Copies of this chain bind each other. A is one copy, B any other.
Amino acid sequence: MGVDFKKLALQYRKELLEKVIPFWEKNSKDEEFGGYFTCLDREGKVFDTDKFVWLQAREVWMFSSLYNRVEKKAEWLEMAEHGARFLMDNGHDGQLNWYFSLTREGKPLVQPYNIFSDCFATMAFGQLYRATGKQQYADVAKQTFDNILARQNNPKGQYNKLVDGTRPLKGFSLPMILCNLSLEIEHLLPEELVEQTMDKVIHEVMEVFYQPDTGLILENVKPDGSFSDSFDGRLMNPGHAIEAMWFIMDLAERRKDDALMQKAVKIMLDTLKYGWDEEFGGIYYFLDIKGHPPQQLEWNQKLWWVHIETLISLIKAYKHTGNNECLQWFQKVHDYTWSHFADPEHDEWFGYLNRRGEVLLPLKGGKWKGCFHVPRGLYQVWQTLEKLK
């Protein structure tokens, strides 16, 4: 293919360190009340001051992670601890149940109904503990992780609106995130719990949610892993499944499990081919596995995280297997992503495009897009490219 990996690696590195991270350093810090602004317009101006715990925690994680992995820059550590202080003071209910959102001042707005707030808090404090060695951060990460395991079978608790027993389904998101989380905080857990959690989540993702007849992963299945012919049961989220596959590849690498690696690469490629929009390019957000109209009106939009996670999966798959199809797809998704999501005039990337790839919302950050997928993806792809020859 004649791909110049060194040059490509430099492109990802420069975008990360010269355009994306400076955008968040410059625009997201709330000097007055602590924490971060994440609702930022195209140029970086704050358009809403609410603080979403997913995004607060993810930004703490991102800056801690840069400090741990790229360079011991004091500004990065201070940026991480700035968010961590706000979260410790305001982010939870006193029992480390993490709220969904807060006002600018830190008052709770939305109750701790969403277990992913807890997942991202665990990641944040686990990574910050690596950076600082401060025991309090380790304790928060560890206790929150225990809460997650205790709540995992009924994560929404009293806020669950489903009638018990009528159509029991389980969701892909939590086992998927636990794949990543078990590696993120393994330094805090007993070895046995780490191995046990990994065994369980690998089984769930690769055998329960994975459907052998289609070769694809569904978002919701019956407790025994079988198909539910309902809106939730038919739902496919290609970006989600593709993202999970690089978590699995990381686990397969760690365990030197080649069969698991091969299976993850195959599922990833099959999902990408299934989710690719042949007419306008890009990857659909949601699909119905039987081809019926999905419930989600945003189904055919093109989202930043879907494409960035796909780049990570493709380049890791190529690195681990040398499969040329992965490299060809990487080139294709790279071209689409850089020509549609990157903003030629301002820093950071657009998040939401319509099916045609035109900008749907001009924001750089919002309720769901923060300092996370773009920089994490640039870092992961850069690092992987550097190891290629």
A50 to B167, CA, bound (A): 11
B47 to A292, Cβ gap below 8 A?
A: yes
Per DSSP, chain A at the interface is: loop
Which B-chain residue is minimally distant from A163 (CB atoms)? B108
Which B-chain residue is minimally distant from A363 (CB atoms)? B293
Stretch among A154-162, A173-181, A236-244 lining the B interface: A154-162
Q: Choose one: B109, B361, B362; the contact of A166 (CB below 8 Å).
A: B109
A→B interface (CB under 8 Å): 39, 41, 47-48, 50, 99-100, 103, 107-111, 113, 158-159, 161-163, 166-167, 230-231, 290, 292-295, 297-298, 300-301, 352, 354-355, 360-363, 366-367
B300 to A360, Cβ gap below 8 A?
A: yes
Q: Which residues of B contact A161 (CB under 8 A)?
A: 100, 110-111, 113, 159
**17 pairs from A and B in contact (CB 8 Å cutoff):** A39-B292, A48-B230, A48-B231, A48-B292, A50-B231, A108-B166, A109-B163, A109-B167, A110-B162, A111-B163, A159-B161, A293-B362, A293-B366, A297-B298, A297-B352, A297-B360, A297-B361
A295 to B50, CA, bound (A): 13
Q: Which residues of B contact A230 (CB under 8 A)?
A: 48, 50
Q: How far is the CB of A44 from chain B (nearest CB, A)?
A: 14
Q: How far is the CB of A282 from chain B (nearest CB, A)?
A: 15
Q: How far is the CB of A75 from chain B (nearest CB, A)?
A: 29
B47 to A107, Cβ gap below 8 A?
A: no
Q: Which residues of B contact A103 (CB under 8 A)?
A: 166-167
A159 to B159, Cβ gap below 8 A?
A: yes
A293 to B47, Cβ gap below 8 A?
A: yes
Residue of A48, A297, A360 contacting most chain B CB atoms (<10 Å): A297
Q: How far is the CB of A375 from chain B (nearest CB, A)?
A: 21
